[in-house]
Amino acid sequence: MDNKYKVIIAMVMVLLAVSFATAAVEGSYDYISAYYTDVNISEVCEAESFPCDAAFGCNITVTNPLEEVVVRDAPMTRNFPDYVYTFTNTSILGDYKVKVYCTNGTYKGLNDDIILHVTTDGKPESIKMQLFLLIVSLIAFLLALYLKSHPIGFISGVLFVITGIYMMAYGFGDIANLYTQSMAYVVLAFGLFIILIAGYEWLDEVG
């Protein structure tokens, strides 16, 4: 096997290893929402184990996945026994840090462990499809190398391109969107590279 093919296989194996490592990442959160969708954040206020009375007021601060404060000390609406805030700035995928501060001037409390998780569809991430596409693409690529088949190599390149596009559209697990986009571009570029090489050698062989 040519050295150039060994290098390509090594690149693909590294890419697949990173993908499986990503699959093991798990996150914990209190709220989940689809991006560009409003979400109600509702927290219970208690004072000495009893619901807070009307004298208490609660404010909320929200920091997005880029560590930018997008809501600072905004008042929450009292809906006994909860305090509610409708958060509208969910344009970035990932974890939003939420802090709720309540006080009546005498007693006060802070909850700064609240996490809002934003995904593409408002559901917990599943990377089964991404892994399936990557594995099928890799199998097709290795089969093309083994059989020295340019048509199969061309098909494997198309599959990698489809995988990259899918990852760009739906993300990859709960990894931050910048990393997801980077992985998608790598897969997409690799697929285009295979298409060009396999297509050129296929045409050369036919010609």
Distance, in Å, from the CA atom of 42 to the CA atom of 60, rounded to the nearest integer, reads 11
Please report, rounded to a whole number, the percentage of residues in the chain having pLDDT higher than 90: 33
Which CATH number belongs to the domain containing residue 74 in this structure? 2.60.40.10
Same domain, 42 and 112: yes
Residues 13 and 67 in one domain: no
pLDDT in tens, 15-42: 555 555 444 444 578 999 998 999 999 9
Kindly compute the dihedral angle of the four CA atoms of residues 131, 135, 138, 139, in this order, to the nearest 10 degrees: -170
pLDDT digits (tens, 9 = 90+) for 161-189: 998 888 877 766 555 456 677 788 888 89
63 and 81 belong to one structural domain: yes
Confidence at residue 10, expressed as pLDDT on a 0 to 100 scale:
53
In terms of domains, do 131 and 156 share one?
yes
> Between residues 15 and 130, which one has the greater pLDDT?
130
Structure tokens of 57?
């007021």
Whether 113 and 71 map to the same domain: the answer is yes
44 and 96 together in one domain: yes
Mean residue pLDDT of the chain comes to 82
Q: Looking at the predicted structure, is the pLDDT value of residue 71 above 90?
A: yes
What confidence score (pLDDT) does residue 27 get? 58
User: What local confidence, expressed as pLDDT, does residue 136 receive?
Assistant: 86
DSSP 29-78: -SEEEETTS-EEEEEE-EETTEE--TT-EEEEEEE-TTS-EEEEEEEPEE
Give the domain range for residue 57: 36-119
Q: Which two tokens stand for residue 67?
A: 């560590």
Per-residue pLDDT at 145: 83
Q: What is the pLDDT of residues 48-59, one digit of tens each?
A: 888 889 999 999
**Domains of the chain: total:** 2
Last residue of one domain, picked from the residues 119, 152, 173? 119
Same domain (yes/no): 114, 131: no
Looking at the fold, whether 73 and 86 belong to one and the same domain comes out as yes
